[in-house]
Chain A
């Protein structure tokens, strides 16, 4: 078997690490291994340089408010490079706080406004906002099922967030909410798709419970690096974990 490898950047993986989001990399590595692909893990954290040419996949997870504030500050120094990566169609999964910080801004539970890096067009307010007419003041917690309108796939997960995210014009939802609350509890959207960026509030984590999405993103990453191999075909021959 030929030797293939991809390089994965875990943005602030030592700080945005509260909700098991690292499991997404475990799942990606699990599927990659079965088709003979090695995944090289790189932590890119405070004061580290993010080179948009180096990585084939990026994970940006969720964290606690204090760490998120520190991350938001440092993230500004990487904003240009992350924008380049995204606009070059680099695959990226952003969960919860990571999803929020790629947008315009977020309001934390205590009302503090934290600037995002505005490489995407959504913004996040909090559960106490006056325009939150449904479940105002409450965390959105529980099982969630959504349907991806591009592919028809359904995704299962668990949501647990106080932030309420509203998508911008250039963005579409990762899926329409079938049961649960989604981005804000109001407009039936959950997560985001923009170029090859996937954002979500799913815990569980999303790639572990929805192998179809994990494989799709893996195929995108591999096809970008090794365009002469039919990766979707290879991946379709191995079992998918879905529950």
Chain B
């Protein structure tokens, strides 16, 4: 290590210490900025201390990264990670330069597992050559900011091309990951939980993105779909089909809003969170663990002993009401939440909150691609809507056949709104800033502590 890089690291560490212990702020961006200012090659210098795994994709990165970290730790690795979702270049640099790398209990090289924003993959790999890229999924997100799925993937590909020796471990159920003209070795994970005699070959529902074959641009067919455009796809015009899977979900045994039971490579597993999409997150972590020699038994233990990391769906008690808060921001996410409600066996009410600030995505047209009509197949007893764009949501749900709705333009009345709902179970689906406002109200009323 050169004097310059030592100074860069020392400065980053002390600024991090000041931020954290004196200013009580947790950010890693400023330390990263300082370190790079002193030594632009700081990342190149420190990469010899660890092997890097980059986790990228549009949905589920944070939870997947946390799960991978626990799995690798269970396998005896020392792991550095960016746990607060600071997934841009400066935050990541800050994380890497302020973390003291210890040796792994298993004697192997320590690992850095980093969630990386899609547009920042190339910036990171300009400096560090990762050992592995983990690609979760690419879904349409806030259209006013991120653009289209193939543009997003092109950004990731540019980063992959910087590291041709790295393994690309990708979600094989997503057709987009068979694209890309990079030469890296690819391995795939996916779902194979349905007996071939039960296949129902069909095309995807019309509001599904990313359904064209990369070979001849024909519309793909599926033996089964898990959700969105994920599943066992094939072309009817040529030989193109889902690639062979190295790691697979071999059974889905029980889906509930609070937990899921399933098997991966015939190992029975349980995670304390609902939603099929979270089984993909677990599958991703399982696959990474296996690539690094972690045993299925160790992975199982990692899932079971870290229940608290499944924190995104938050359960709150409001005067005896069992309230679950879920974030919605795009049609795939909203449809996943609706699918989760289809697994709810009790009567429940839905309170849906829509804002259209920058952090929510200012184009709300996606709510028309979310299949609220499916809620008629649940035990839903009441629907209420609110948020700054309550009108859009009110009309969406009215046209989905929910004529009777309580409407809350003003979120200051939201605690009363929850209490007024007729069922014990309440789901609140909210966009990002609506969720922040909701949490403020719940905090002021004493039902939750702290902020995010």
Contacting pair A241 B395 (CB below 8 A)? yes
Least CB distance from B221 to A in Å reads 12
Residues of B within 8 A of A139 (CB): 144
Residues of B within 8 A of A158 (CB): 362-365
- A45 interface neighbour in B219, B364, B368, Cβ under 8 Å: B219
Question: In the complex, which residue of chain A has the Cβ closest to the Cβ of B356?
Answer: A158
Least CB distance from B409 to A in Å reads 12
Contacting pair A67 B399 (CB below 8 A)? no
Residues of A within 8 A of B144 (CB): 139, 141, 160
A208-B206 contact in complex given A64-B150, A141-B363, C-beta closer than 8 Å:
no
Contacting pair B363 A160 (CB below 8 A)? yes
Contacting pair B363 A66 (CB below 8 A)? no
User: Is B112 an interface residue, CB under 8 A from the partner?
Assistant: no
Contact mask B316-350 → A, CB, 8 Å, 1/0? Answer: 00000000000000010000000000000000000
A18-B217 contact in complex given A141-B362, A243-B391, C-beta closer than 8 Å:
no
Residues of A within 8 A of B212 (CB): 15, 66-67, 70
User: Is A186 an interface residue, CB under 8 A from the partner?
Assistant: no
Contacting pair A65 B365 (CB below 8 A)? no
Q: How many of chain A's residues have a CB under 8 angstroms from any CB in B?
A: 34
Contacting pair B206 A243 (CB below 8 A)? no
Q: How many of chain B's residues have a CB under 8 angstroms from any CB in A?
A: 33
Residues of A within 8 A of B12 (CB): none
- Report the bound CA distance from A43 to B398 in whole Å: 24
User: Is A10 an interface residue, CB under 8 A from the partner?
Assistant: yes
User: Is B104 an interface residue, CB under 8 A from the partner?
Assistant: no
A66-B219 contact in complex given A14-B203, A14-B211, A141-B362, C-beta closer than 8 Å:
no
Residues of A within 8 A of B365 (CB): 19-21, 23, 158, 160, 203-205
Least CB distance from A162 to B in Å reads 10
Contacting pair A14 B363 (CB below 8 A)? no
Sorted from nearest, which 8 A-B pairs have the closest CB atoms?
A23-B368, A20-B365, A20-B368, A203-B365, A64-B148, A243-B391, A30-B399, A13-B206
- Report the bound CA distance from A30 to B363 in whole Å: 23
Residues of B within 8 A of A208 (CB): 368, 392, 395-396, 399
Contact mask A1-38 → B, CB, 8 Å, 1/0? Answer: 00000000010011101111111001100100000000
User: Is B254 an interface residue, CB under 8 A from the partner?
Assistant: no
Contacting pair B391 A14 (CB below 8 A)? no
Residues of B within 8 A of A235 (CB): none
- Report the bound CA distance from A235 to B143 in whole Å: 35
User: Is B149 an interface residue, CB under 8 A from the partner?
Assistant: yes
A46-B363 contact in complex given A17-B369, A241-B398, C-beta closer than 8 Å:
no
- Report the bound CA distance from A238 to B390 in whole Å: 22
Contacting pair A22 B398 (CB below 8 A)? no
User: Is A209 an interface residue, CB under 8 A from the partner?
Assistant: yes
User: Is B209 an interface residue, CB under 8 A from the partner?
Assistant: yes
Q: 30 A-B Cβ contacts within 8 A?
A: A14-B204, A14-B208, A15-B219, A17-B206, A18-B148, A19-B363, A19-B365, A19-B366, A21-B365, A22-B368, A22-B369, A23-B396, A23-B399, A26-B400, A64-B149, A65-B148, A65-B150, A67-B212, A139-B144, A141-B362, A142-B362, A160-B144, A160-B365, A203-B363, A204-B365, A204-B392, A208-B395, A209-B392, A241-B395, A243-B395
Contact mask A49-76 → B, CB, 8 Å, 1/0? Answer: 0000000000000001111001000000
Residues of A within 8 A of B434 (CB): none
Question: In the complex, which residue of chain B has the Cβ closest to the Cβ of A13?
Answer: B206
Least CB distance from B22 to A in Å reads 41
Least CB distance from A55 to B in Å reads 16
A66-B369 contact in complex given A158-B363, A208-B399, C-beta closer than 8 Å:
no
Contact mask A151-181 → B, CB, 8 Å, 1/0? Answer: 0000000101000000000000000000000
- Report the bound CA distance from A208 to B393 in whole Å: 11
- Report the bound CA distance from A212 to B144 in whole Å: 28
Question: In the complex, which residue of chain A has the Cβ closest to the Cβ of B218?
Answer: A46
Residues of B within 8 A of A18 (CB): 140, 143, 148, 209
Question: In the complex, which residue of chain A has the Cβ closest to the Cβ of B367?
Answer: A20
A20-B399 contact in complex given A67-B212, A204-B392, C-beta closer than 8 Å:
no
- Report the bound CA distance from A19 to B366 in whole Å: 6
Contacting pair B143 A160 (CB below 8 A)? yes
Residues of B within 8 A of A22 (CB): 206-207, 368-369
- Report the bound CA distance from A204 to B143 in whole Å: 13
Question: In the complex, which residue of chain B has the Cβ closest to the Cβ of A41?
Answer: B206
Contacting pair A46 B140 (CB below 8 A)? no
- Report the bound CA distance from A243 to B391 in whole Å: 7
Contacting pair B206 A20 (CB below 8 A)? no
Contacting pair A209 B143 (CB below 8 A)? no
Contact mask A126-160 → B, CB, 8 Å, 1/0? Answer: 00000000000001011000000000000000101
Residues of A within 8 A of B211 (CB): 14-15
B residues 363-397 near A (Cβ < 8 Å) are 363-369, 391-392, 395-396
Contact mask B54-66 → A, CB, 8 Å, 1/0? Answer: 0000000000000
- Report the bound CA distance from A86 to B362 in whole Å: 34
- Report the bound CA distance from A22 to B219 in whole Å: 19
Residues of A within 8 A of B217 (CB): 70
- Report the bound CA distance from A80 to B357 in whole Å: 44
B residues 176-221 near A (Cβ < 8 Å) are 203-204, 206-209, 211-212, 217-219
Contacting pair B209 A17 (CB below 8 A)? yes
Least CB distance from A14 to B in Å reads 5
- B399 interface neighbour in A27, A45, A46, Cβ under 8 Å: A27
- Report the bound CA distance from A18 to B332 in whole Å: 12
Least CB distance from B150 to A in Å reads 5
Contact mask A66-104 → B, CB, 8 Å, 1/0? Answer: 110010000000000000000000000000000000000
Question: In the complex, which residue of chain B has the Cβ closest to the Cβ of A64?
Answer: B148
Question: In the complex, which residue of chain B has the Cβ closest to the Cβ of A73?
Answer: B217
Least CB distance from A140 to B in Å reads 11
Question: In the complex, which residue of chain A has the Cβ closest to the Cβ of B363?
Answer: A160
A residues 208-223 near B (Cβ < 8 Å) are 208-209
- Report the bound CA distance from A19 to B140 in whole Å: 10
Residues of A within 8 A of B392 (CB): 204, 208-209, 243
Question: In the complex, which residue of chain B has the Cβ closest to the Cβ of A29?
Answer: B399
Question: In the complex, which residue of chain B has the Cβ closest to the Cβ of A202?
Answer: B365
